[in-house]
A and B are shown apart, each in its own frame.
Chain A
Amino acid sequence: MSRCDFKIVLLGSEHVGKTSLVLRFVNSTFNSGTPYQNTIGAAFCAKTMRSNGKDFNIGIWDTAGSERYEAMTRMYYRGAHAAVICYEPCCLESWARLRHWLQELRTVEEECKVYLCGTKKDLLDSGMVKREVPEDIVATYSQGLRGHFLTSSKTGENVEELFQKIVDDCVADAKLMRNVEEMRVQLLKEEEAYKAKHKEYCNC
Chain B
Amino acid sequence: MSSQDIPEENLPAEQDTHGAVGVADEKNPFADPGLPPHEHRIQDVDERAAKRSERSVALLFTVSMLATVGFIASYVAIPADESVYIWPIGHISAMNFALGMTLGIALFTIGAGAVHWARTLMSDLEIADERHPIEAPPEVKTKVMADFKQGAKESALGRRKLIRNTMFGALALFPLSGVILLRDLGPLPGDKLRHTLWSKGKLLVNMNTNEPLRPSDVAVGSLTFAKPEGLEEHDEDFQTEIAKAALLIVRIQPENIKDKQELEWSHEGIVAYSKICTHVGCPISLYEQQTHHVLCPCHQSTFDLSDGARVIFGPAGHALPQLRIGVNDEGYLEALGDFAEPVGPAFWERG
Partners in one complex: no
